[in-house]
Amino acid sequence: MKSKKSWILFALFILPLVFYVLLLTGTNNFAKLSVLTENINDVDQFKTDDLKRVTLDEQITILCFFGNDLQNVKNNALNLNEKIYKHFYKFKNFQFVAVLPNGTQTQTVNLKKQLGVITDMQKWKFVYGTPNHIAELFNSLESSYKIDNNSYSPYAFIIDKNRNLRGRMDDKDNGLMYGYNAETVAPIHSKMVDDVKVLIAEYRMALKKNNSKI
């Protein structure tokens, strides 16, 4: 009888405590998105339409390389806009940065019009540079991906406020995952949305500790 009472007490008090500790441990692990590359190049030397300076510092940034033919890759922008931008653009210090070759400004105007029909474009930033400067920026990510001769990559990248590339160390499908293929909705919907949430939650937790707000 005494043994039975002990098991009942164990089930009522000890097991819930163990479960709570495991839950906290899981939450702490979940709330960190891996740093894959530190201190990538900034975009502050690239040109902009309105001559305003754009920087990756102190911003959560979705970084894209759309190349010199926006008509052919507009679905990338539409996919990212629908699944990521529209859900997160209201957060403070969040931005999209599309890196483009010089001479694509007219194409950008058309793309902005298409996106602007359903979107507040204030956090979309378009910056322009030479193919060499774009390649230098892309290479600073130190990813396993390549950028083509048109300054295009299908991948979108998550950059934190310290200009670190964030991603997955052990993705079940890709292993080391530096970026998210924007040509299809699936990786954006199933992985990138969650990872942006994790990064924002990470900053929220840090700010909460400092009695601040995001």
pLDDT in tens, the chain (214 residues): 555 555 555 545 554 444 433 434 444 444 589 999 999 999 999 999 888 999 999 999 999 999 999 999 999 999 999 999 999 999 999 999 999 999 999 999 999 999 999 899 999 999 999 999 999 999 999 999 999 999 999 999 999 999 999 999 999 988 999 999 999 999 999 999 999 999 999 998 887 777 645 5
DSSP E strand stretches across 5-111: 34-37, 47-48, 60-66, 94-101
DSSP 41: P
Q: Which residues pair with 153 in a beta bridge?
A: 65
Q: What is the pTM of this model?
A: 0.83
Domain range annotation of the chain:
1-30, 34-209
Query: In one letter, which amino acid is 72?
Result: N
CATH architecture type of domain 34-209: 3-Layer(aba) Sandwich (3.40)
